[in-house]
Structure formats: structure tokens, C-alpha cells
Amino acid sequence: MKSAVLQYREFTEALNNLSGTLINVFAPAAREKSEMAMARRAMLLLLVLIPMAMVDYALGVVKKEVLRSSVCTSIECPAYDVLYQEEEFSVRLYNGTVWMATSAIEDTSFYEATRVGFLKLFQYIQGANEEGAAVNMTAPVLTGVIPSDGPFCKSSFKVRFFVPTIYQGSPPTPISSLELEVEEWGARYFAVRTFGGFAKDTNVAEEGAALAESVYEAGMELSSSAGDESYYVAQYNSPFEITGRVNEILLPISYPSLLKVRKSS
């Protein structure tokens, strides 16, 4: 277990890395919604205390749910089916989701690229669209990673916001200077590993490698149908939420290989 001093150092380091713009974005909302924040913390405590339901494989779907994080009790998150579950990871089916995505952002840092993409998307939901519409914030902030060819080369990143259900049929058109585009995803299967704390360049790489190893050991294969992006990082919390943070690594997997593993288990 991490010492209190180490936890404090990690937290202060993360806060020091936050841009002034992000602080201006989140601070007013944090002050205005203090009661909601208390309710979120209470909900998080309940989720820790309430035992997990037993897994039911009879219909081939372990559980249909929306992520039980403190964030998804107050803002919209995409729903999914859990098709496979073990200690280190699960496999989810996401059906027909719609995302607002940045163009590819080249950078050596996942953290910095996500920050740049987030600010563009936040402008969009604040009204930087042709309709001038204010769009509700959703979760997660999803960053797709196209790895570089070497350790000193820039990778490419695409940052996404989940489009709220009321806009999925016709999302507001972003202003051209933001270089955003709508992405309509069909059914996609992802192996998912959850981790806490702040998502940083170092732990994102470590968690991604751990998930890839678990998927390989389970006998599943990665899918190339998702395009050039090798994996995704999902972040569910604002930078001002210190405890109970939820992050995920998502690897696209092949459905036939999932079926093979399930039949043999």
C-alpha cells in the first residue's frame, strides 16, 4: 500500500501539471455543485459496501450495466454488455455509440495530447458549434492511441467525448476551426482493465502492457477492425476528484476469439 506521503506527492504532481485553463473550466462547476459532489461521494461509499452481484452466464451476457462510478450517477455514460469476466479484466460489447472526436494530435505525451483535445471538445459543448447549442458533459473522456515507430518519435492521439443520447441522431455541427468530427461506431468488443489514481504517461503504458498480457494468456486475439488505434484510455473523473478515481484501458478484441475462449471455459 502506498504511504500517505507518496500519495500526497503524486497528487500534488498531478495538480501542478493541470493547465490554468482546466482550472478555470472546472472550478466554478465544483463550487456551484458542492452538494452534488457530496452525493457522489456517498454513492461511491455505497458502491464499495454493497457486494457485487453473482455473475450469470446462462444467456451469454454476464451483466448489462452502465459503469458504476461516482461520475456516471450524475452524467451520461455509454451503456455496454459484459460478455466475459475474470480477475484481471473483462470483455464488453458496446453497441452503436456516437462520439465527437478530434483530428489526430501528434505528441510524445499522452497527457499533453489529451489536454489539448479536451479543450477543443469542451469549447464545442460550451457552444462552439453552428447551432450555438450547449451540450451536456458526458463520460468518459476517451483517448485513442496510435503508437509511434520508436521511443523518441511522436505518437498520434484522438480524443473523444461521448455524444449524449438526445443528440446522437443529429449532433450539433462543430465550428471548423476546432477540427472535430462525428464518429458513429457499430458494435465493438473491448477487453477492459480498470485502474485508479490519475492517468499519466507512465501508468497508462504499464496498465496497457498488463492488459495485453492478460488478453494473450486468456487465449484471445486483438482486432484490427478499430483502425490504426492500438488501444484507448478512458478517464471518468474531473481533475478535482481526488479519491475514487476510475480509469480504464480498452483493447479491441476479435469476437471469434472471444467465442472460442467462452466455449472452452
> In terms of Cα–Cα distance, which of 251, 244, 246, 240 is closest to 92?
251
Mention the CATH class of domain 4-264: alpha beta
Each residue's pLDDT tens digit, 141-197: 999 999 877 666 789 999 999 999 999 999 999 999 999 999 999 999 999 999 999
> In terms of Cα–Cα distance, which of 191, 194, 211, 212 is closest to 254?
191
Reduce the DSSP state of residue 146 to 3 states and report it. strand
**Cis upstream peptide for 140 (omega within 30°):** yes
CB 240 within 8 Å of CB 224: no
d(CA 78, CA 67): 8
pTM here? Answer: 0.75
Each residue's pLDDT tens digit, 31-65: 444 545 544 444 433 343 333 333 333 334 555 55
- Domain spans of the chain, in order of start: 4-264
Tell me, what's the pLDDT at 69? 55
Reduce the DSSP state of residue 257 to 3 states and report it. helix
Each residue's pLDDT tens digit, 218-233: 999 999 766 788 999 9
Cell readout for 7 is 500519495
> In terms of Cα–Cα distance, which of 127, 124, 125 is closest to 179?
124
CB 89 within 8 Å of CB 215: yes
Beta-bridge mates of residue 252: 190
